[in-house]
Amino acid sequence: MFGPIAAPITALGGAVAVIRVDGSGSWLLRNSILASPIEPTPRRSLYAKFLNGDDGLITFFEQGSSFTGNEGFECAVHGSPASVRHILERLYQGGCAPARPGEFSERAFLNGKIDLTQAEAIDETIRALTDRQLKMANENREGALRIRIEKALDPLQTVIATLEAHVDFSEELGDPDPDELIAKLEVALDELKALTAAEHYGRLVRNGIRTALLGRPNAGKSSLFNAILGSNRAIVTEIEGTTRDYLEDSFEIEGLLFTLVDTAGLRSSTDTVEEEGIRRTRIQAESADLILYLYDGSKGWTEEDESEFSRLSKLNASLLRIATKADLVATNPDLSISTLTQEGFPELRKQLVSLVPETEPGTPNARHKVELACAIESIESAIASIHHALPMDLAVTHLRSAEFSLGAIIGLSPSGDVLERIFSKFCIGK
């Protein structure tokens, strides 16, 4: 039984504000805010006048038909902060509690209206800045990830049931076919490994691709930074070592968000300030998802470039070699660009987008990745147990552990700490 709570579910200051009231007995609270009585008609919007002098629409939802699954109603009024505040104060005086961040979504989850991945996707939908982020969030909000987890759970639970039956009725059933059991588990394993691989690309879509521009002084990093962003953010001169610290800004290509970082040129220096800039450049390289290594195409690839490139290739970031100043040289074996003529920019954009391929619907996040790793390890242990003909209850123990980990992703057995971590990040009203 959930008591009544209330909160605005739209940002204050717009033309229209919507206030949601949710919980057992919430319909009775309408009398504390309405200027004249209205008889609730479920799932129909009715014109209403409110005690604060405002007017608008009120929509009632019976238990089972609302977003949360509880009895409730929503008021759509003018977006005046004063009007919203007055209505909320009247509701609170009538016995309604202010909704905590994410409490509506949490109630929907606890009532079985959505699973935990769908709840997380609601927050991602609200925060989406790009088309790819929105697409990924919408897919999971519609249950795509839950479907893929259930696809892995099905053969897993079939094997558990088979093993437990043979443990309990070994004389009647005999020994199960180990190859058949392992084949079923490998189906689950393949799905979980595919999900784990997709998490990497999902992280880049969700968080943006941190892209560092590196290279020797005067390689054209700041010029490319300005050209991509379409503004003169970075100082560009003929003097080497102009950039002493890093600059960053964001841009979008085909629904992918990139954080572009301009850095100080890499070289040996005795200048204290420039040395500090180079140190910060190396820090940026270590935290980048992608490094664009630029070199002056008119001067060619040098031993210093080779040394730096070799050093950067040991990092976890993707690494792309780009020749600049294409307007000054006829041909170049690498991707060649010119910030003056825009030569090579279409190809550069194409290569940037290719870094994050489209994945199947149902992309996991970092929390899911931890549980997926535990499930994969447990299933592999179970397969080893079956392969070596160890006691069947040992394989069952491993598989129950995998089942628990996968259940934690969709919320079959969530702990209070997990729910607190997830829903506390939501904004009030969701």
Given 3-state DSSP classes, what are the helix, strand and coil percentages for the chain, each rounded to the nearest 5? 50, 15, 35
How far CA 195 is from CA of 138, 199, 217, 339, in Å, comes to: 17, 6, 42, 39
Domains 5-115 and 131-203+362-413 share a fold: no
CATH code that applies to domain 215-354:
3.40.50.300
pLDDT for 232 equals: 63
Around 244, how many Cα atoms within 13 Å sit in the side-chain half-sphere? 8
CATH code assigned to 5-115: 3.30.1360.120
Strand ranges inside 302-374, DSSP E: 318-324, 335-336
Q: What is d(CA 78, CA 297) in angstroms, rounded to the nearest whole number?
A: 60
What is the spatial distance between Cα 282 and Cα 379, in angstroms, rounded to a whole number? 40
- In this structure, the chain runs to a length of 430
pLDDT on residue 239: 44
Instruction: Please report which helix (H) or strand (E) contains residue 253, including its range.
Output: strand 247-253
Which of 85-93's residues contact partners 24+ apart within 8 Å by CB, and which partners? 86/51, 86/52, 87/19, 87/33, 87/50, 87/52, 87/54, 88/6, 88/7, 88/8, 88/19, 90/32, 90/33, 90/51, 90/52, 91/4, 91/6, 91/19, 91/21, 91/29, 91/32, 91/33, 92/6, 93/32
Give the per-residue pLDDT at 331: 72
Report the relative pairing of strands 55-61 and 45-49 from DSSP bridges.
antiparallel
Sequence spans of domains, the chain: 5-115, 131-203+362-413, 215-354
Q: Quick one: pLDDT at residue 235?
A: 46
Judge: domain 131-203+362-413, CATH 1.20.120.430: yes
The H or E element spanning position 16 is: strand 16-22
How far are the Cα atoms of 129, 244, 277, 279, 389 from residue 273, in angstroms, in the given order? 37, 7, 6, 10, 66
Print pLDDT tens along the chain (430 aa).
Answer: 799 999 999 988 889 999 999 999 999 999 999 999 999 999 999 999 999 999 999 999 999 999 999 999 999 999 999 999 999 999 999 999 999 999 999 999 999 999 999 999 999 999 999 999 999 999 999 999 999 999 999 999 999 999 988 776 665 556 788 999 999 999 999 999 999 999 999 999 999 999 999 999 989 999 999 999 986 654 444 544 555 467 899 999 999 999 999 998 887 665 666 678 778 888 889 999 999 999 999 899 999 999 999 999 999 999 999 999 998 887 777 899 999 999 999 999 999 999 898 888 999 999 999 999 999 999 999 999 999 989 989 999 999 999 999 999 999 977 788 888 899 888 888 8
CA distance 293 to 305: 9
Predicted pLDDT at 276: 80
The model carries a pTM of 0.86
Q: What is the distance between the alpha carbons of residues 219 and 296, in angstroms, rounded to a whole number?
A: 5
Which pLDDT score, from 0 to 100, does residue 329 have? 80
Contact 50, 37 (CB under 8 A): no
